[in-house]
Chain A
Amino acid sequence: MLHPTVIRRVEPLGWGSIFIVAAAVALSLTVSALLLAAQGKDPAAGIWLLFQGGFGSRWALEDSLLKAIPIFLCSLGVGVAFRLQIWNIGAEGQFALGSVGASAVALSFPALPAILLLPLMMIASMAAGGLWGLIPGLLKVYLKANEIIITLMLNYIGILFLDYLVYGPWKDPVSFGFPMTPAFSANAVVGSLGIGRIHWGLLLCIGFGVTMWVFLQFTRTGYELRASGENVQAARYAGLPYRRLVVMVLVLGGALAGCAGFLEASANLNRLQPSIMVGYGYTAIIVAWLARLNPLQIGVAAYLLAGLRVGVENLQLDLQVPAAFGGIVEGLILLSVLAGGFFNHYRIRFGDRS
């Protein structure tokens, strides 16, 4: 008789975990295919269209990359906070503030040359996003406030502030009352890299991603951060500057989400309008967990999730499955990958009970 027994691994699974992730993704895609079949759609064609739309052509690769940029930056920011077991849910609001900061500069100094204006916009966006991260940081450190609640509530305040600006003082006078700022001047638009429609934001992402990895892996503060995240009590006992680290990760996360807001407003919308908010700040949380908070893996996960979202549009267009199907596939993948994480620390032995 086979009796499954759960046994804790002595060492967590290293590179082998790639197979677990692959198996989890395969499992969720299989379930998705069954769901397609249940709707009377050809499951093989469906999965192929999904892949084809997200990654199967130059256009698709480019579209997915463009969509991955803001997700990556937000995710990098929340990921570093999660490392410290600080639950920053506020990337959405920080993203909003970042786009507001960048727009303030773009609308105030439209005539500045791009080489000055764009860095200024970026600094303003990161400062505004960082400020939105500083508030929960200070409240947590000095008043022991719960950062989950504070960051979540600040999201609403941030988004409503954005709404106030575009419905009120910043509204384009020739927009027939529609809530949008005037279009940015050409100097305020982040340019293309010359590869399709990929803009300079991609280089920013690579720069921030590598810097973050080096910071976490090779610097003293990075080490302190990782150590504190493993065990807060022990870290405090060891005299690590926990409070300073808390404020730092929240500000850092805010600045990165703010930068994402700058890129979206400048490169993609060329103006500020409420529809800039599509939930990247929340997607970032999913991505950070899928990537197990590793900066480089966050890059991969952001890209794959962006590709999935782009691919689902293709699936809709050609097979006419409901949009909700995309959410289901996404949820299945997240659930099975996270649940699969169990096997990193445990294994199951089949055999006689002895």
Chain B
Amino acid sequence: MTTGGGAFVRGETIPKSVRANAPSPGFTLKKASNFIMEAESSTGVEKRYFTRKSREATVKKAILSLLLAIWMSVGIAAAEETRVGFVYVSPVGDAGWSYAHDQGRLVLEALDGVSTSFVEAVPEGPDSERVIRNMARKGFDLIFATSYGYMDSMLKVAGEFPDTVFMHCSGFKTAPNMGNYFGRMYQARYLSGIVAGSMTRSNTLGYVAAFPIPEVIRGINAFTLGVRSVNPDATVRVVWTKTWYDPATEKEAAKSLLDVGADVIAQHQDSPSPQEAAQERGAYSVGYNSDMSAFAPKAHLTAPVWNWGPFYIETVKKVQNGTWKTGAWWPGLKDGIVGLAPFGPMVSQPVKDRVLEQKAAIESGRFDVFDGPVLDQDGKTRIAAGGSADDKALLGMTWFVQGVIGSTE
């Protein structure tokens, strides 16, 4: 962000048509001076300097055109900067989902020729439509909306602003100027499940989860498969909070799981309060989104974490050099978009080795989390031996694997 409201004023005062005519990419002094000369000659400066009156007029015009040129060159300089906007569903806060995206934004902010801004705590639905539309109106070149509930709003606005690039996280709809992206967090969750399954004594693990949508269900399934790959007797109990971010509710949910004997708490929530609940009871915990060990150093085993920076840089570069095309991006462990936070000191070396081994297997493609046979809660075979789940099945997953205690409703 530049100082004060400057960027905002520039964005508003230069109409898109002017910016399109201006020599925007690769701005140089020479181009700018050519541009100034063009502006002068078009006002017909040289031809009339005979009478005093007309000389005055000439001077006035020259000054005017100079001012115009300066004003436009300022506009050109501003237009050259790629402006990237982010829409967050929760406050940026200090550890959660929006925090992880904001870390990615800060990486962009550090680049030359890129300026960023964000609006946080934007409710899904009509409010998000307004926020996204305002960003587009203000001349943002690229807008990331990072919650699935923004999908339809973004699609609507994308239709109105064909020159702006829209990127929606975690949905499934696209348009010529709107792509979607997400990461294969389930791969990292599987790895965290291996750690959790190795550390449990009670063989009951707790999972504080936000909403019964495929993304969350997929994560719970992957975690459970990881747990049971090292500990086939363990079960994972799920509590739905029906909120992404509500520290008090999340903590209560974690406590209710600890009350029924869970000794490792995992979470698909955006606050670190389930971690704190686990530490208070002397249990272990698995974080989410970012390294949450600062909040519960005695409990925090590891956390499946996001690393959006590289993907955001790649997208901005594509938009800058005009090679961006719509699509659906779903990178995983091997691209580094998801990973594990550093292990806590209580995690033993053999467990770490096992995790790293599985990580290498997933990255190389030798193994996939949902390789069959996978049974559901009723013992029915959902993925046959030798098969695996394709992306469509993963994106629409609404059933729990065997070992999960809870309902997907």
A→B interface (CB under 8 Å) = 42, 45, 48-49, 53, 59, 63, 66-67, 163, 167-168, 176-179, 264, 268-271, 273, 275-276, 278, 310, 313-314, 316-320, 322-324
Please tell me if the beta carbons of A167 and B125 are within 8 angstroms of each other in the complex.
no
Known: A313-B130, A317-B117. A167 touches B138 (CB 8 A): no
Please tell me if the beta carbons of A176 and B4 are within 8 angstroms of each other in the complex.
no
Bound-state CA distance A275–B89 (Å) is: 11
For A63, list chain B residues within 8 Å (CB): 130, 134
Instruction: Please tell me if B118 contacts chain A, counting CB pairs below 8 Å.
Output: yes
Please tell me if the beta carbons of B134 and A317 are within 8 angstroms of each other in the complex.
yes
Please tell me if the beta carbons of B213 and A179 are within 8 angstroms of each other in the complex.
yes
Bound-state CA distance A53–B119 (Å) is: 13
Please tell me if the beta carbons of A177 and B397 are within 8 angstroms of each other in the complex.
yes
Nearest to B151 among chain A residues (CB) is A178
Nearest to A314 among chain B residues (CB) is B134
Nearest to B394 among chain A residues (CB) is A176
> Shortest beta-carbon distance, B298 to chain A, in Å?
30
Query: In chain B, residues 192-242, which have Cβ atoms closer than 8 Å to a Cβ of chain A?
Result: 211-214, 217, 242
Q: Return 21 A-B CB contacts under 8 Å, by A number.
A: A48-B5, A49-B5, A59-B134, A168-B409, A177-B213, A177-B396, A177-B398, A178-B148, A178-B213, A264-B126, A273-B125, A278-B123, A313-B130, A314-B134, A316-B119, A317-B8, A317-B85, A318-B1, A318-B5, A322-B91, A322-B92
Bound-state CA distance A147–B397 (Å) is: 42
Bound-state CA distance A45–B2 (Å) is: 14
Please tell me if the beta carbons of B149 and A45 are within 8 angstroms of each other in the complex.
no
Please tell me if the beta carbons of B91 and A179 are within 8 angstroms of each other in the complex.
no
For A319, list chain B residues within 8 Å (CB): 5
Instruction: Please tell me if B395 contacts chain A, counting CB pairs below 8 Å.
Output: yes
Nearest to A323 among chain B residues (CB) is B121
For B211, list chain A residues within 8 Å (CB): 179
Instruction: Please tell me if B137 contacts chain A, counting CB pairs below 8 Å.
Output: yes
Instruction: Please tell me if B280 contacts chain A, counting CB pairs below 8 Å.
Output: no
- Total B residues in contact with A, Cβ cutoff 8 Å: 41
Please tell me if the beta carbons of A316 and B118 are within 8 angstroms of each other in the complex.
yes
Q: Annotate B141-169 by CB proximity to A: 1 below 8 A, 0 otherwise.
A: 00000001100100000000000000000
Report which residue of A66, A167, A177, A270 has the largest number of chain B beta carbons within 10 angstroms of its beta carbon. A177
Q: A67-B126, A176-B395 are in contact. List 17 more A-B contacts (CB 8 A).
A: A45-B5, A53-B134, A66-B130, A176-B396, A177-B214, A177-B396, A177-B397, A269-B152, A313-B130, A313-B134, A316-B120, A317-B8, A317-B134, A318-B7, A319-B5, A322-B92, A322-B120
Bound-state CA distance A163–B241 (Å) is: 13
Please tell me if the beta carbons of A167 and B409 are within 8 angstroms of each other in the complex.
yes
Instruction: Please tell me if B127 contacts chain A, counting CB pairs below 8 Å.
Output: yes
Q: Annotate B104-140 by CB proximity to A: 1 below 8 A, 0 otherwise.
A: 0000000000000111111111110111001101100
Bound-state CA distance A268–B137 (Å) is: 19
For B213, list chain A residues within 8 Å (CB): 177-179
For B212, list chain A residues within 8 Å (CB): 167
Bound-state CA distance A263–B137 (Å) is: 25
Known: A176-B172, A176-B395, A264-B126. A318 touches B119 (CB 8 A): no
Please tell me if the beta carbons of B118 and A275 are within 8 angstroms of each other in the complex.
no
B→A interface (CB under 8 Å) = 1, 4-5, 7-8, 85, 91-92, 117-127, 129-131, 134-135, 137-138, 148-149, 152, 172, 211-214, 217, 242, 395-398, 409
Bound-state CA distance A76–B122 (Å) is: 26
> Which among B92, B138, B242 is the interface contact of A317 at CB below 8 angstroms?
B138
Please tell me if the beta carbons of B214 and A320 are within 8 angstroms of each other in the complex.
no
For A67, list chain B residues within 8 Å (CB): 126-127, 130
For B123, list chain A residues within 8 Å (CB): 275, 278
Please tell me if the beta carbons of A310 and B130 are within 8 angstroms of each other in the complex.
yes
For A322, list chain B residues within 8 Å (CB): 91-92, 120
For B118, list chain A residues within 8 Å (CB): 316-317, 320
> Shortest beta-carbon distance, A61 to chain B, in Å?
13
Nearest to A42 among chain B residues (CB) is B4
For B124, list chain A residues within 8 Å (CB): 273, 275
Bound-state CA distance A132–B7 (Å) is: 49
Bound-state CA distance A59–B134 (Å) is: 9
Please tell me if the beta carbons of A278 and B396 are within 8 angstroms of each other in the complex.
no
Bound-state CA distance A276–B124 (Å) is: 8
> Shortest beta-carbon distance, A121 to chain B, in Å?
17
Report which residue of B118, B121, B172 has the largest number of chain A beta carbons within 10 angstroms of its beta carbon. B121
Please tell me if the beta carbons of B119 and A313 are within 8 angstroms of each other in the complex.
yes
Bound-state CA distance A53–B131 (Å) is: 11
Bound-state CA distance A310–B123 (Å) is: 12
> Shortest beta-carbon distance, B149 to chain A, in Å?
5
Bound-state CA distance A22–B315 (Å) is: 48
> Which among A270, A273, A314 is the interface contact of B149 at CB below 8 angstroms?
A273
> Which among B4, B120, B397 is the interface contact of A323 at CB below 8 angstroms?
B120
Bound-state CA distance A64–B4 (Å) is: 24
For B217, list chain A residues within 8 Å (CB): 177
For A177, list chain B residues within 8 Å (CB): 213-214, 217, 396-398
Bound-state CA distance A167–B398 (Å) is: 11
Bound-state CA distance A225–B7 (Å) is: 54
For B398, list chain A residues within 8 Å (CB): 177
For A271, list chain B residues within 8 Å (CB): 152
> Which among B8, B127, B214 is the interface contact of A178 at CB below 8 angstroms?
B214
For A268, list chain B residues within 8 Å (CB): 125-126, 129
For A275, list chain B residues within 8 Å (CB): 123-125, 149
Bound-state CA distance A53–B5 (Å) is: 12
Please tell me if the beta carbons of B8 and A318 are within 8 angstroms of each other in the complex.
yes
| Closest A-B pairs by Cβ, 10 of them | A275-B124, A323-B121, A268-B126, A275-B125, A177-B214, A278-B123, A177-B398, A318-B8, A323-B120, A176-B396
> Which among B5, B127, B214, B242 is the interface contact of A176 at CB below 8 angstroms?
B214
> Which among B85, B125, B148 is the interface contact of A269 at CB below 8 angstroms?
B125
Bound-state CA distance A111–B276 (Å) is: 53
Nearest to B170 among chain A residues (CB) is A178
